[in-house]
Amino acid sequence: MATSRLYCGRFAPTPSGPLHFGSLVAAVASYIDAKAHQGRWLVRIEDVDKPRAVPGASNVILHQLEQHGLGWDGEVWYQSQRDHVYRDVLAQLQHQQATYFCTCTRKQIKARGAHYTGYCRHRQRSAEGSAVRFCNDHSRTHFNDRIQGQVELAPEFAHEDFLLLRRDQLYTYQLAVVVDDIEQGVTDIVRGADLLTASSWQVTLWQRLSQQQPRLAHVNLALDENGRKLSKQNHAPALQAQQVPQQLRAAFEFLGLTITDLTDNPHSLLEQATVAWRTKYLS
């Protein structure tokens, strides 16, 4: 279990644009959880989906984190530089006969139902023009979350043979995030609740690749006035450099943390938030 190892957390944004309030909430939660455990906090740029990466966005994100006092430990990792690692892990899984080639398009999958049915699993497809799917024979339909409690997932989704390599030969987020978390020694994953369902696939892959399992904690999502998740896709406004203390206080309030000191120093604010987090979640 994670409690037997030195704590290591991480924040892993996609560089498709600057950080917004929703991403600040996730960053703050993962940061102060690491500090509350006297652990390490890493930053990783999740640009494995190279076409989605906006030039210069990763530098903007790192600068925004620094502005808000969110300093990281060690070097920043970039998934776009790690294809060779993902290739080796995928080759290992293929050697273990834990994968298969799939030629199904999204349109074909949708025509058969809401979830992938394993159509290509026994059809002996060739590698050319194919994606690679994981044989999801030991899927997790439930897990315990430090914030959300016992999480039950739809079996149809949890049992899907998910993609590790896309048909365009880009490695998937599911593969990259698990491989990187294992290699970096991540013990605790604190992130937004929009990734709750994906956790079932990731925990399953963790079980295949490592004896150690991370603890999970998913914070509630910040929503816009229409009830939609704040996201770059939904045009959430970027964080403002002139509003750092106000933005931090708003993130603390969203997380249910009470901060009484009126200082505008982001480091002092984060120290107070860490104490409040420790009282709320660790006491």
Rounded to whole angstroms, how far apart are CA atoms 63 and 45?
Answer: 13
Helix boundaries (H) for the chain: 21-36, 57-67, 83-95, 106-112, 155-158, 173-184, 196-209, 244-254, 266-277
Query: Using N-to-C axis directions, what is the helix angle for 173-184 and 83-95, rounded to 10°?
Result: 100
State the binding site. Answer: 10-14, 46, 102, 104, 116, 120, 173, 191, 232
φ/ψ region of 70 (left if φ > 0, alpha if ψ in -120 to 50, else beta) reads: beta
User: In sequence order, what are the residues at sequence separation of 6 or more whose Cβ sits closer than 8 angstroms to the Cβ of residue 17?
Assistant: 54, 57, 232, 238
Length of the chain: 283
Tell me, what CATH number does 32's domain have?
3.40.50.620
Q: What are 75-105's pLDDT values in tens digits? A: 999 999 999 999 999 999 999 999 999 999 9
Rounded to whole angstroms, how far apart are CA atoms 222 and 271?
Answer: 23
Counting the structural domains of the chain, the total is 1
Find where tokens 């999740």 sit: 46
State the binding site for ATP. Answer: 232
Rounded to whole angstroms, how far apart are CA atoms 206 and 72?
Answer: 24
Q: Tell me the pLDDT of the chain (283 aa) as tens digits.
A: 344 479 999 999 999 999 999 999 999 999 999 999 999 999 999 999 999 999 999 999 999 999 999 999 999 999 999 999 999 999 999 999 999 999 999 999 999 988 899 999 999 999 999 999 999 999 988 899 999 999 998 888 899 999 999 999 999 999 999 999 999 999 999 999 999 989 999 999 999 999 888 999 999 988 666 555 555 555 568 999 999 999 999 999 999 999 887 789 999 999 999 999 999 988 7
State the binding site for Zn(2+). Answer: 102, 104, 116, 120
Overall pTM surpassing 0.85 (yes/no)? yes
| Two tokens, residue 252 | 């603390």
Domain that holds residue 42: 2-282
State the binding site for L-glutamate. Answer: 10-14, 46, 173, 191
